[in-house]
Amino acid sequence: MLMKWDAKSTIETGKAILGIEFGSTRIKAVLIDQENKPIAQGSHTWENQLVDGLWTYSMDAIWYGLQDCYTDLRRNVRKAYDVEIEALAAIGVSAMMHGYMAFNEKEEILVPFRTWRNTNTGQAAAELSELFVYNIPLRWSISHLYQAILNEEEHVKDIAYLTTLAGYIHWQLTGQKVLGVGDASGMLPIDPATKDYYSSMVEKFDGLTEGGKRFGWKLLDILPQVLSAGQDAGTLTAEGAKKIDTSGLLKPGVPLCPPEGDAGTGMVATNAVKQRTGNVSAGTSSFSMIVLEKDLSKPYEAIDMVTTPDGSPVAMVHCNNCTSDLNAWIGLFKEYQELLGIPVDMNVVYEKLYNHALTGDADCGGVLSYNYISGEPITGFSEGRPLFVRSAGDKFNLANFMRAHLNASIGVLKIGNDILFNDEKVTVDRITGHGGLFKTKNVGQRVLAAALNSPISVMETAGEGGAWGIALLGSYLVNNEKNQPLDAFLDEQVFAGDAGTEIAPTAEDVEGFNTYIENYKAALPIEEAAVKFKGN
């Protein structure tokens, strides 16, 4: 990291770049210097709400969260460098992919923001998958739109613009109705040849609405324009500057890179945009992104085809649940410590429990965990019930208990990736892990290596996450003096040969995880019964 006075002059002269990412539990801002190193951060914690059966964040929460995050960043900059942020070299906005934000001509949201977490779009996703001959996931924007049509929702006729959370924020900051190709690929499939929406699918969808006659709009009328990394996506307006910085100090005119989804920024932050590379993000939800050399032989319900921020095809396995249930159990151990009057350091609690898990049996002694806080489409669940399952003959101890929960956090991810590696024979040179699961050194890395039967790398910078990733895309917009492709820019200008620390799987761990996952799949009817049980 640069010396403080170097960072200070970077900020003072307006050379710093701001990346903002709206994650599912945290909004994070990262400020980077001319060498793409983080020099300051800010954050805001938030939670989704279940309103009328659908997961959402309110518009007030979105804007208050952005402003509070930026205020925290300003506070940290003043504390560290005794300077205010007034000018920036570039800004990038990223957020949770997919979902549904529909607006009328007055720019009013028509229904509450429907996030990626909602699984009420089963009929639409199934019908569109058949129509397009392409896997259309439940959470994609086109699924939400068609489900609203099938449900005969009143608001559909009034839609003037449909976008994602990142696209919405960017629009309000710049006035531009655009979206990065990676995030756009979570709205409607992208044709790798054109790096734009598949024209054949647009035509087929318009056929469902009688060429737009039913509602007064055709699909392309309401979707954002697709942009690739490095393309001009507009500049910060005076109104946009006020929406970020309530102090009024931030000046307009800052160029913005195309807004992206969290999957795309994760690929950038782990240097995984090149073919035969991949990454796994593991936090509240989990997903893997494998950049393909060629198309898959056929569509798979468990695999979403999206793109890198520069438009290369990516096989994505997305799981709605990852560490939330695991964190809840660790919270129980925290309560027990407090009951005993023992001071609690959560970092120590995680470290002790995670490392103890590795002393357990490789197959977890037969015990199982299902981490389904919400539904899990890959295994066929529109609702979830967190469960811990054991029989009287299983080896029930703390190590196996914790290892089962670690395995469960990426169990569904393994099921999806087994299709890629076993059935499609996809090969990768490097997979990089990032997110909360990898915070305790070596543990999540070793478990994931066993699950995927592949070496897993973790970089020191991976903890910076998607906010750093979108800041790097901002840097690519304004600092790509050599006019390099994105993968070369990242290799040479950002990572400079840093491949991180790698852990290879052991034969015992791989065999144990395979046994665990076979038991897991065989016992899914228990989860099904739990979902059906409503209680009193």
In this prediction, what percent of the chain has a pLDDT beyond 70? 98
Residues paired with 163 in a beta bridge? 101
pLDDT in tens, 61-87: 999 999 999 999 999 999 999 999 999
Q: What is the pLDDT of residues 327-360, one digit of tens each?
A: 999 999 999 999 999 999 999 999 999 999 999 9
Ranges assigned E (strand) in 377-505: 387-389, 430-434, 456-458, 501-503
Beta carbons of 229 and 309 less than 8 angstroms apart: yes
- 413-442 average pLDDT score: 92
Distance CA 470, CA 267 (A): 10
How far is residue 223's CA from residue 183's CA, in Å, rounded to a whole number?
Answer: 12
Reply yes or no on whether the pLDDT at 146 is more than 60. Answer: yes
Which residues, other chains included, contact 174 with Cβ-Cβ below 8 Å and sequence gap of 6+?
A: 233, 234, 235, 236, 237, 240, 256
pLDDT digits (tens, 9 = 90+) for 461-513: 655 678 999 999 999 999 999 999 999 999 999 998 776 899 999 999 999 99
Helical H segments across 250-397, by residue range: 262-269, 324-339, 346-357
Nearest residue to 7 (alpha-carbon basis) of 60, 76, 95, 67? 76
Residues 193, 197: Cα–Cα separation, whole Å: 10
Mean pLDDT score, 36-48: 95
pLDDT grade for 3, boundaries at 50, 70 and 90: very low
Identify the CA nearest to 408 among candidates 483, 492, 319.
Answer: 319
Q: If you average pLDDT over every residue of the chain, what do you get?
A: 94
Q: What is the pLDDT of residue 310?
A: 95
pLDDT at 53 over 70: yes
Distances (CA, A) of 428 to 279, 444, 446: 10, 20, 18
Give Cα separations from 124 to 410, 460, 470, 496 (angstroms).
27, 41, 31, 45
pLDDT category, 1, cuts 50, 70, 90?
A: very low
Return the closest-CA partner of residue 45 out of 72, 30, 65: 65
Chain centroid to CA 309:
13
Residue 59: Cβ within 10 Å count: 14
Q: Which fold has domain 98-163+189-222?
A: Nucleotidyltransferase; domain 5 (3.30.420)
CA–CA separation, 434 and 466 (whole Å): 10
The pLDDT of residue 384 is: 93
Helix 398-409 vs helix 507-522: crossing angle, to nearest 10: 80
Residues 360-379 have a mean pLDDT of 95
Query: Order of strands, edge to edge, in the sheet holding 501-503?
Result: 304-307, 313-319, 286-291, 277-282, 430-434, 456-458, 501-503
Residue 114 has pLDDT above 70, yes or no: yes
pLDDT at residue 178, rounded to an integer: 98
Q: Residue 464's pLDDT is what?
A: 62
C-alpha span between 182 and 306 (Å, rounded) = 6
pLDDT band of 2, cuts 50, 70, 90: very low
